[in-house]
């Protein structure tokens, strides 16, 4: 964890930059609330980008069909007029309500926010990498066992094994080709859930002798003195031992409610119970919208989350400006909004 910074003050802090969190930021801007967004991942879009970017979505009002990636692109374009800060790659881990009823929120990277209300749009919780299920892996994590590639240069002239068969595994295998001294991709079967072009490029590299591909599962790691020397691969014909100094396991992401479970909220089945008149949780000033919200007959749909965010922010306004009465203006009559949108398209 990094050192704590000076607190960033804002009316609303939105936790989660999935589709619902992004749209919530737009609504906050329209209503006249300042807001900041924070997400544990290093890109926006939540499930849409992590789980099904190229699949079509057919049930967004007035958009007959778009891919999940296109939806996120449109949402990002929609918030552009408000120029909102988005803090990526930092999971929120603690929230604390002070005597003045404002909140202090901290991320794992040491960023601190001071806000009047919190909108939790955290989906199924933070996505965390699926870890290697071999006993030796935990002690080597961050040294020679990796669940992401932060800097390609760290793998220069190393013997590297990449494990996995999805887009991430294939993309990083191709990126490491020519960087690593020896490169092997290990996947449990000779079939991939990755872009056809990446699979074809990997196969060309194998045929050209630039890397190896081995079908099998990682069975154990050879690291007697805490330094990785090799990996044992189990396959239908037995086992094979491969020399390796670095192992990059890219098995995909799993959702984990994580620190939110510690925030003293009423939770049911891993979701936060809310009042459906304003999507406020059991802690006044803290709202839950999108997939993480629980109420009877809740539908985990993007359009439900948009509605929930809109109502939650109207209540959040009363925490940020308790003495001010907010006057509702339809967006079609909102001159300030029209000006912002026009300015954003001029700049683009």
Ligand X SMILES: Cc1cc2nc3c(=O)[nH]c(=O)nc-3n(C[C@H](O)[C@H](O)[C@H](O)COP(=O)(O)OP(=O)(O)OC[C@H]3O[C@@H](n4cnc5c(N)ncnc54)[C@H](O)[C@@H]3O)c2cc1C
To ligand X, the closest distance from the beta carbon of 308 in angstroms equals: 9
- Of 46, 164, 216, 285, which lies in the binding site for ligand X, with binding defined by CB under 6 A? 46
> 3-class SS at 40?
coil
37 binds ligand X (CB under 6 A): no
- Of 51, 201, 215, 329, which lies in the binding site for ligand X, with binding defined by CB under 6 A? 51
State how far the Cα of 103 lies from the Cα of 116, in Å rounded to an integer. 6
To ligand X, the closest distance from the beta carbon of 292 in angstroms equals: 6
State how far the Cα of 67 lies from the Cα of 69, in Å rounded to an integer. 5
Residue 101: how many other CB atoms lie within 10 Å: 12
To ligand X, the closest distance from the beta carbon of 158 in angstroms equals: 30
To ligand X, the closest distance from the beta carbon of 300 in angstroms equals: 5
Stretch that binds ligand X, among 37-45, 128-136, 196-204, 269-277 (CB under 6 A): 37-45
For residues 21-54, one letter each, b for 16 or more C-beta atoms within 10 angstroms of the residue's C-beta and e for the rest, the string is: bbbbbbbbbbbebbbbbbbbbeebbbbbbbeebe
Phi-psi region of 270 (alpha: psi -120 to 50; beta: other; left: phi over 0): left
41 binds ligand X (CB under 6 A): yes
40 binds ligand X (CB under 6 A): yes
Stretch that binds ligand X, among 16-24, 27-35, 214-222, 324-332 (CB under 6 A): 16-24
Query: Strand (E) positions, 134-216?
Result: 145-146, 159-163, 182-187, 212-215
Nearest to 288 by CA among 269, 270, 309, 303: 309
65 binds ligand X (CB under 6 A): no
To ligand X, the closest distance from the beta carbon of 309 in angstroms equals: 9
To ligand X, the closest distance from the beta carbon of 289 in angstroms equals: 7
Q: Which of residues 112-131 bind ligand X (CB under 6 A)?
A: 121-127
x/- map, 206-245, ligand X, by CB under 6 A: ----------------------------------------
Asked whether 274 and 294 are in contact (CB, 8 A), the reply is yes
163 binds ligand X (CB under 6 A): no
**Looking at beta carbons only, is 91 or 223 nearer to ligand X?**
91
Report how many residues bind ligand X under the rule CB under 6 A: 37
The torsion angles phi and psi of 329, rounded to 5 degrees, stand at -130, 130
Residue 217: alpha-carbon gap to chain centroid: 27
- Exposed (0-12), middle (13-18) or buried (19+): which is 323, by Cβ within 10 Å? exposed
Asked whether 241 and 220 are in contact (CB, 8 A), the reply is no
Stretch that binds ligand X, among 12-20, 165-173, 205-213, 314-322 (CB under 6 A): 12-20
Q: Which residue is nearest to ligand X (CB)?
A: 123
CA distances from 187 to 75, 235, 270, 331 (A): 36, 10, 32, 51
- Of 10, 12, 14, 21, which lies in the binding site for ligand X, with binding defined by CB under 6 A? 21
x/- map, 70-109, ligand X, by CB under 6 A: ---------------------xx-----------------
To ligand X, the closest distance from the beta carbon of 272 in angstroms equals: 11
- Of 39, 171, 246, 280, which lies in the binding site for ligand X, with binding defined by CB under 6 A? 39
Question: What CA dihedral angle connects 82, 17, 95 and 113, to 10 degrees?
Answer: -30
Residue 185: alpha-carbon gap to chain centroid: 25
Q: Which of residues 280-319 bind ligand X (CB under 6 A)?
A: 290-291, 300-303, 305
Q: Which residues bind ligand X (CB under 6 A)?
A: 15-21, 38-41, 46-48, 51-52, 57, 59, 91-92, 121-127, 258-260, 290-291, 300-303, 305
């Amino acid at each position: 964890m990094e050192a704590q910074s000076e607190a960033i003050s804002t009316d609303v802090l939105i936790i989660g930059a999935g589709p619902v969190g992004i749209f919530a930021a737009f609504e906050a801007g329209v209503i006249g609330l300042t807001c900041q967004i924070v997400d544990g991942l290093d890109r926006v879009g939540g499930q849409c980008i992590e789980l099904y970017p190229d699949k079509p979505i057919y049930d967004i009002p007035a958009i007959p069909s778009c891919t999940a990636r296109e939806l996120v692109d449109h949402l990002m374009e929609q918030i552009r007029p408000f120029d909102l800060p988005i803090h990526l790659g930092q999971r929120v881990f603690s929230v604390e309500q002070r005597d003045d009823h404002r909140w202090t929120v901290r991320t794992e990277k040491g960023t601190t926010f001071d806000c009047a209300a919190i909108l939790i749009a955290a989906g199924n919780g933070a996505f965390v990498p699926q870890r290697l299920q071999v006993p030796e892996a935990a002690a080597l994590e961050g040294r020679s066992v990796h669940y992401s590639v932060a800097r390609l240069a760290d793998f220069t002239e190393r013997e590297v094994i990449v494990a996995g068969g999805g887009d991430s595994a294939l993309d990083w295998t191709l990126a490491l080709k020519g960087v690593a001294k020896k490169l092997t991709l290990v996947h449990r079967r000779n079939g991939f859930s990755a872009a056809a072009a990446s699979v074809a490029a990997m196969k060309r590299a194998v045929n050209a002798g630039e890397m190896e591909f081995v079908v099998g599962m990682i069975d154990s790691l050879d690291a007697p003195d805490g330094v990785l020397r090799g990996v044992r691969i189990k396959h239908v014909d037995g086992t094979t031992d491969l020399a390796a100094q670095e192992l990059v396991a890219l098995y995909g992401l799993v959702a984990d409610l994580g620190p939110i479970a510690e925030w003293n909220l009423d939770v049911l089945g891993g979701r936060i119970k809310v009042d459906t008149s304003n999507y406020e949780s059991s802690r006044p000033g803290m709202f839950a919208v999108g997939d993480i919200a629980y109420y009877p007959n809740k539908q985990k749909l993007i359009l439900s989350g948009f509605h929930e965010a809109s109502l939650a922010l109207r209540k959040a306004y009363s925490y940020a400006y308790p003495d001010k009465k907010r006057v509702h203006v339809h967006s079609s009559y909102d001159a300030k909004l029209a000006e912002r949108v026009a300015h954003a398209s001029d700049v683009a």
